[in-house]
Structure 1
Amino acid sequence: MPEWDTVRLDFNDDVATLTVDRPDRLNALNVETLHVLRDAISAAESEGARALVLTGAGEKAFIAGADISHMQDLSVAEAQEYAELGHEVTDMLEQFPAPVIAAMNGYAFGGGCELSLACDFRVASENAIIGQTEIDLGIIPGWGGTQRLSRLVGDELARRLIFFGERIDAQDARAMGLVGEVVAHDQIDDHVAEMASDLAERPAFALQAAKEALNQAHEGMQSAGLRYERRLWSSLFGTHDQREGMAAFLDEREPEFN
């Protein structure tokens, strides 16, 4: 089994667990980590995982988002390439041939929230804080959030979350359907492990068929929307608001948008 610096892939019988392991950076997704996630998801599939868990290392974060220091000075073409990489990872989670559970054990902002949206189940710790916060950076969700979020919570709630960049706690996320359940922070690992083990014992081909059929219900409309999202997201790079929003975030100050 390959080993990587920023992602761990562990097996317990037929259950694979992918842990983004950058706790000092709140498990933010830089380019290297996205490439490793892509390889690790492929490895889990090759090893025949019958359930996959995605989580983050440490006590604070699931995945706090994309790497803003990397994004800050991207050109439109570079941003398009970065969006394609993020979409490749989210698509791999959505199309993984077994159930995928996001164990959201802390902050899940921006790209981290989007990765969870591509999973089949979202289980949140009571400490989790969740949000599509890209508007504060002068951009929009670029890894599927504009398309997948409204499927879960409905059109108006999706617009509120994206337009205002709201950060919501786990109980509010549960009430709006963004996560399926909320558990005590010190119980999330055991709870998700039991859930994944139960899924892994169920008929694999039937689960795969059910997942493909459920995904197909959204396929035509969503695939076109995801392509459009990638173009719109990357087109915002080089604008004043994108440069100012990301500079302000990195400088820890309030942005001054046009």
Structure 2
Amino acid sequence: MITTDVTGKRRTITLDRPERKNALTREGLDELHEAVADATESVLYLHGAGDAFCAGADLDTVGSLDEETAAGFAEQGQDVARALEQYDGTVVAGIDGPARGGGVELALACDLRIATPAATFAESGVTLGLFGAWGGTARLPRIVGEGAALDIALSGRVLDATEARDCGLCSRIVEEPRTVAESLAENDPTAMRRIKERIRDTDPDAEQERREREAFAELIAAFDGQS
């Protein structure tokens, strides 16, 4: 269900269940979590096989849940999303075709969401009487703002790539998202890691500025003057 491939400093993780639009079962979530935990490369590239990114949680799995097991399934998805978000490197989601529900939530946990013109996004759980519970209700408003998040989540409507880019749900639109991951793998991994830490720092400005100075000094210590 999950396959991996390593090229230099880039690891590609493929959601490989195209016959079900790469929908994730419990086993698929476990495999994805393991693939992220095993990675040491400076760039992770997450994408889907076939004509979809990820349809989210497998509906057969969802249909088998009861009140007790539902919380555990949600926690399992949250753990995977947290592993992507906290990865000690740069994580790129390459979105070609539909991203739905949990697929959007996994993409939200990545550092960059790079779409093709064919990409579409929807938090479609509300149409089934559900909602995204893999961290989406926390990450979506942080990324697109509360107003846009409520519109997306309450309506369940489909956003095309252009609207997703305009509201910040995706970072940019390109023909081949993999090329973005390839170019990032050429950058200095320590610098990228420090940038990610600094941008996500939520402490008061003065404390952030102090850490920024320290991180910059650390990078200068290793700087050889070559561009």
TM range (shorter): 0.7 to 0.9
In 2, Cα distance between equivalents of 1:65 and 1:166? 15
Letter in 2 for 1:9: T
Would you say the 8 A contact 1:95–1:212 is kept in 2?
no
Q: Give a deviation string over 1:208-251, Cα, whole Å, max 9, x none.
A: 22223333329xxxxxxxxxxxxxxxxxxxxxxxxxxxxxxxxx
Would you say the 8 A contact 2:94–2:178 is kept in 1?
no
In 2, Cα distance between equivalents of 1:121 and 1:97? 14
Is 2:70 the counterpart of 1:75? no
2:49 is matched with which residue: 51, 57, 63?
57
In 1, Cα distance between equivalents of 2:28 and 2:3? 11
- Which structure 2 residue ranges, 5 or more long, are not aligned? 204-227
1:89 is matched with which residue: 77, 80, 94?
80
Partner of 2:183: 198
1:149 is matched with which residue: 127, 130, 140?
140
2:118 is matched with which residue: 119, 127, 152?
127
**Number of residue-to-residue matches in the alignment:** 203
Letter in 2 for 1:39: E
Is 2:159 the counterpart of 1:168? yes
In 1, Cα distance between equivalents of 2:156 and 2:75? 23
Bigger relative CO (Cα 8 Å, ≥ 6 apart): 1
Q: TM-score, normalised by structure 2?
A: 0.85
Partner of 2:35: 40
Partner of 2:23: 28
Q: Give a deviation string over 1:96-153, Cα, whole Å, max 9, x none.
A: 0111000001110000000000000011111111011110111111011111111121
What is the CA-CA distance between 1:158 and the residue it aligns to? 0.5
- Ranges of 4+ aligned residues in structure 1 off by more than 6 Å: none
Q: TM-score, normalised by structure 1?
A: 0.76
Would you say the 8 A contact 2:92–2:111 is kept in 1?
yes
In 1, Cα distance between equivalents of 2:5 and 2:102? 23
Letter in 2 for 1:49: E
What is the CA-CA distance between 1:199 and the residue it aligns to? 2.0
In 1, Cα distance between equivalents of 2:136 and 2:92? 17
In 1, Cα distance between equivalents of 2:71 and 2:201? 26
Partner of 1:109: 100
1:209 is matched with which residue: 191, 194, 202?
194
Partner of 2:207: none
What is the CA-CA distance between 1:183 and the residue it aligns to? 2.0
Query: What's the RMSD between the two structures over aligned residues?
Result: 1.4
In 1, Cα distance between equivalents of 2:95 and 2:43? 16
Letter in 1 for 2:4: L
Name the % identity. 38
In 2, Cα distance between equivalents of 1:217 and 1:146? 19
Letter in 1 for 2:13: L
Farther off after superposition, 206-215 or 62-71: 206-215
Letter in 2 for 1:170: A
1:15 is matched with which residue: 10, 16, 21?
10
Partner of 1:180: 171
